[in-house]
Amino acid sequence: MSADGLHHPQIVAVDARVDPAACRSMVEVRQGVDALDRALVALLAERQRYMDAAARIKPDRGAVHDDARIEDVVAKVLASAEAHHLSPAIAEPVWRTLIDRSIAHEFSVYDRTRS
């Protein structure tokens, strides 16, 4: 939270990189991928902090795994993927794995903070 008492989302800056359509060498492609990977790690770390908050807030362990929420998240991701021209063959398995690992992390945090 900032000094004004409001939560301002963290903006993850992506290093300067060549647009993929303008890449002329594998060096440019790899630099772009590496820059995006750094940004993705920062975003995933922030997402993990929300899982930490969920583990702190949820009233019981049974609330950690929520099938309806999983399907809601996947549906939203697939809609966003389509809008951004990301293949659903990439988006869906990546997010299902992310959700699975996030739930495992949340269980771990939940158990550690309540024992």
The reply to whether 61 sits in an annotated binding site is no
The reply to whether 56 sits in an annotated binding site is no
DSSP letters of 47-78? HHHHHHHHHHH-SSGGGS--HHHHHHHHHHHH
The reply to whether 30 sits in an annotated binding site is yes
CA dist 84 → 67, 77, 79, 80, 88 (Å): 26, 10, 9, 6, 11
Distance between CA atoms of 79 and 104, rounded to whole angstroms?
A: 25
CA dist 40 → 16, 22, 27, 28, 70 (Å): 15, 22, 20, 18, 21
The reply to whether 101 sits in an annotated binding site is no
Taking the mean position of all CA atoms in its chain, how far away is CA 113?
Answer: 23
Binding site residues for substrate, as ranges? Answer: 30, 47, 58, 106
Binding site residues, as ranges? Answer: 30, 47, 58, 106
